[in-house]
Amino acid sequence: MSDSKGTKGTRGAKGLVLVVEDERHIAELQRLYLAREGFGVQIESDGEAGLAAARQLRPVAIVLDIGLPTMDGDEICRRLREEGDWTPILLVTARDEETDRVLGLELGADDYITKPFSPRELVARVRTILRRTSGRPEEPVRTVGRVTLDAARRTVRADGRPVELTTTEFNLLNSLLSQPGRVYSRDELLAQVWGYPDQRGTRVVDVYISQLRSKLGDACPIRTVRGVGYSVPDPSA
């Protein structure tokens, strides 16, 4: 694999971030700021090369532009998730329509950022995604109804069957299960799971709740509290 300057990417102290971006000046700016943060950076400028790099290099995170030559970012995201690759993905898009953002999230992306953006914000988003990825060994196994979540092992079972979740889906479920009976507003969930409150992002919470319900099936304990947000029932109540 080669980056946009023809040199091989290096793995920094905090791991390798794969940047798939066809606009060279944007890619180089991302490289500069991510490198300052301690990440190694590999740049690919088209979709097929980006997918191959993701498979071969096993980066700690992928910064993925949606509009790419040869294969768009949504397709790369879809293929990786179908292969069971849950590397955290931050989508970068010039599109501001909600349907485009929602599609990327439904395909398994962990977050998105819209051009034009501050490079510092992009780095902050990458850091937040990686914090959400790491488990907390001190956390107990949580069971609510027919769903069991093991935070240390990053596993979820529903009716005894294993359920594959993205990083963001896992952390959203973990937040809800951590305090059964509590009703979380969408803004609270955005701040707690995504790391930033953003009124424009409340629809994102709904998308992920829908995905959790689909994956957990009839065992899903998440309930909607109209006009407020979401909660799971308290088993001890």
Considering Cα of 46, then 77, then 229, then 156, what sign does the dihedral take?
A: negative
- Using an 8 Å Cβ cutoff, are 44 and 22 in contact? no
**Which residues form the domain of 59?**
16-133
Helices (H) and strands (E) in the chain, counts: 8, 12
48 three-class SS: helix
Same domain, 115 and 198: no
237 assigned to some structural domain: no
* CA 39 vs CA 90, 110, 174, 203: distances in Å: 15, 19, 28, 31
**How high is the pLDDT of residue 104?**
77
> Distance (Å, rounded) from C-alpha 88 to C-alpha 187?
22
108 assigned to some structural domain: yes
Question: Domain tally for the chain?
Answer: 2
Same domain, 27 and 59: yes
7 assigned to some structural domain: no
> CA nearest 219: which of 139, 168, 145?
145
Q: What percent of the chain has pLDDT over 70?
A: 85
Predicted TM-score (pTM) of this structure: 0.62
CATH code of the domain in which 168 resides: 1.10.10.10
Same domain, 159 and 73: no
Listed residues 108, 133, 158: the one ending a domain: 133
Same domain, 111 and 172: no
Considering Cα of 85, then 118, then 25, then 73, what sign does the dihedral take?
A: positive
Same domain, 129 and 146: no
**How high is the pLDDT of residue 8?**
47
Same domain, 108 and 41: yes
77 assigned to some structural domain: yes
1 assigned to some structural domain: no
In the numeric block, the tokens 């707690």 are attached to 192
Same domain, 126 and 165: no
β-pair partners for 44: 20
10 assigned to some structural domain: no
Same domain, 87 and 170: no
175 assigned to some structural domain: yes
> Distance (Å, rounded) from C-alpha 171 to C-alpha 70?
33
158 assigned to some structural domain: yes
Beta strands in the chain (DSSP E): 16-20, 40-44, 61-65, 89-93, 111-114, 141-144, 147-150, 155-158, 161-162, 184-185, 223-225, 229-231
Same domain, 129 and 23: yes
Same domain, 172 and 125: no
Taking only the tens place, the pLDDT of each residue in 180-231 is 999 999 888 887 787 665 545 568 899 999 999 999 999 999 999 998 899 9
Listed residues 94, 113, 133: the one ending a domain: 133
**How high is the pLDDT of residue 110?**
87
**How high is the pLDDT of residue 132?**
72
189 three-class SS: helix
CA torsion, points 62, 68, 70, 72, in degrees to nearest 10? 70
Same domain, 157 and 73: no
Backbone angles phi and psi of 82, in degrees to 5: -65, -30
Instruction: Give the residue ranges of DSSP H helices in 93-224.
Output: 98-106, 119-133, 167-178, 186-189, 202-216
Same domain, 113 and 22: yes
Residues of the chain with pLDDT under 70: 1-13, 95-101, 133-139, 195-202, 237
> CA nearest 192: which of 120, 132, 127, 123?
132
